[in-house]
Structure formats: structure tokens, C-alpha cells
Copies of this chain bind each other. A is one copy, B any other.
Amino acid sequence: MAQGFKITPWEVEGKIDYEKIFKMFGVQKFDENIKQKLKRKTGDLHLLFRRNVVFAHRDFEKALEKGFFLYTGRGPSGPMHIGHIIPFYLTKWLQEKFKVNVYIELTDDEKFLEPKRKLSFEETQKWTEENILDIISVGFDPDRTFIFKDTEYIRNMYPLALKVAKVINFSTVRAIFGFTNQTSIGMIFFPTLQIVPTFFEDKICLVPSSIDQDPYFRLQRDVAERLHRQRCATIYHKLLPGLLGIDCKMSSSKPETCVYLDEGEESIREKIYKYAFSGGQPTLELHRKLGGNPEIDVCFQWLYLFFEDDDKRIEEIEEEYRSGRMSTGELKEIAIQKITEFIREHRKKREKARKKVEKFMYKGKLAKKMWETVFE
């Protein structure tokens, strides 16, 4: 924690200083110039780009120039909250714009192995099924998307996994992931399987992800050189802040920090009122006089970072709130309405998702081809 925060794939601690990340991880800033390059190809930009939620990248320009396929994933350790779904919306938008294949890995093996989770194998399987329904609800192209879980797709990945594993030694994973002599040999091997899908196509693999997964992709880029394969590109998005404050993490295991994708409407309202950290003043009178602070207001941040797509509207809300004309209660109502709407839509799509599982996992055009392919 020399930097005041710690980021590994299994732990995010302290307040993330996004500026420091550029130095620590050696990633590039996703700047105005790159946004414009992207916009020239896509015509418009998704909110997550416009509002700088996507803040860092590796080789994104190269991927834009040379063409890419998309790969992202999910560790199925519990119910998904609204923060978890962000990289999937990012991925879906890119798929629509570039008409490329998307590979979505469910790392059920990792979540079973991770010691602090204490999940039984059966539990990881249940969460895998549940999470897949949430992911499908995002609306990927069923013929250009392959959703798979490691324990099932392993036969098709294993020969290539061996090639990856052969060029990584214990010293390396100890340095990158902080493994120790007490780490299980399952966890030690696992990074291999997060790397393999970056080689699914002979194009640049572009990975939309949160920054905590960067260690895998740093390692991927070394491995790629050694195997004479393509180094992956990445884009990293900021995490949605937890309800308790903008420096507080959203966590599935702490209901007071997040809104789940299957959260009931009453519960959403209650959580926002009870927990959402406010940038407003202690009394309405003071608020009218001094105004609210949208920078630290979680409801405003959620709207800004994800839920309010309309740029004019979000500016309006910001101004109104900052001036004090809009009260915290009014801002919360706006947030509740937007989130509730999102969750309601999600629920509708999720009800239809079960029928689509077969297609995304086995029978869609891409899925079918993937089951016929063994990667070596």
C-alpha cells in the first residue's frame, strides 16, 4: 500500500488515485485525441467514453488501426450489481459499432480456488448460471458472441494453456500477483486461462475491463512476445463509487454499498435514501444558500457515470444542484427514477435471457465454431 491504495485482481483497497495508476501500471491515458480518433470511426461516442469513465488503455490506437476482436469476463462469485455490468455495456457498444466477435469468459475455476471466497464448487456453478443471464440481458449479438465457463470450455483451451503456462514461472506470478509459497497450485496456474482467450483470433484482442485486471494483461503482453502472438490491447473504466461515498467501493457482499441487478424497487428507494452519500448541505436553508457538491454526491456521480445518457440533462442537473436550486431529495428522486427504470428494463430482458443461453453458449454461429475448435 505504498501508494495509499492496493489493486490486484482479488483486492482493491484504499482510495484509487487514477493519476498514479498511469505511472504504477504503465498504462496510457485515454485522452481527447484518442476519443476523437474513435469518434471518427464510430460517428458518436458512448457515454462511458464521453464522460471519461474509460480513462486508460494499452495500445487502443493500434487496435483501432489494425482491427480487433473483443474479450471480457466475469468472476462468478455472487450476484451482480450495477457496477459489474458496466464493462459489458462498453463491450456491447463496441461490438455494435465495429461488428466484431465478443468472447465472454466466466472464471468459475478462479472463484472456486480463491481462498477468501470460501465458495463451494456448486455455488460457483449457480452464480455462473445467474451471472450469464445478467450478461445476456445486455444485448450482445448472439451470432457474434461466445459465452463460456472455464470448467466447461477447458478442453478447447488446454493445449494452448500449456503453451502459455510453459513460458511463465513461479517468480513471475509471485511478482505480478503477489502469490506466496502458501498459494494453491490451482491459483498459480489460473492466470494461464485468463490469458488464453486473448489468442482466440489472429487479430489484436481488445479487452474492456476494470483496472484491477491489468496484471493479467501485462503478463499477456510478455507471453505474447515469447509465443510470437499478438499482444492484447485494453481499455480500462473507472469503478462506479459505492453508495457510502465516492471513495468507497461497491461490493456484492455489502448490500449497503450497491444496487443489485435484481434489486426490488422499494429496496432501491430505501438504499438510496438511507445510504447514498450526499453532496448537499446539512439543512435545506443552507443548501439553497451554498449549493450542493456534485463531485462527492454519489447519486449525481451514478447519473453522470452511467445512468443519465443525455448530456444536456446531466449539465442541467449539475447546475441546478450546484446552485442549490435542486435539493438532495430531488436529486435522489431523479437517481431513483433512472436506476429503477434501468433495473426494470434489465429484469424484462433477463426474463427472456434464459431462452438465449443455448445460443450464446453452444448453438450461435460463433459458439458453434468455438466448440469445434481446439486451440493449440
Chain A residues in contact with chain B, CB under 8 A? 109, 112-113, 115, 121, 150-155, 158-159, 161-163, 165-171, 173-174, 179-186, 188-189, 191-192, 376
Known contacts A121-B376, A152-B155; A181 and B171 CB within 8 A of each other: yes
Q: Beyond the given A173-B185, A186-B192, please list 5 additional residue pairs across the A-B interface where CB-CB is below 8 A.
A: A113-B162, A150-B158, A152-B155, A165-B185, A169-B183
Expressed in whole angstroms, the Cα–Cα distance for A186 and B183 within the complex equals: 15
> Which of these, B163, B171, B185, B186, contacts A182 with CB under 8 Å?
B171
Q: Are B152 and A167 in contact (CB under 8 A)?
A: no
Number of copies: 2
- Nearest to A112 among chain B residues (CB) is B162
Known contacts A121-B163, A165-B189, A189-B188; A170 and B158 CB within 8 A of each other: no
Q: Are A162 and B192 in contact (CB under 8 A)?
A: no
Q: Are A186 and B189 in contact (CB under 8 A)?
A: yes
A interface: dominant SS: helix
> Which of these, B121, B158, B171, B181, contacts A174 with CB under 8 Å?
B181
Expressed in whole angstroms, the Cα–Cα distance for A185 and B169 within the complex equals: 5
Expressed in whole angstroms, the Cα–Cα distance for A16 and B224 within the complex equals: 43
Q: Are B151 and A158 in contact (CB under 8 A)?
A: yes
Which residues of chain B are near A186, meaning CB under 8 Å? 161-162, 165-166, 168, 189, 192
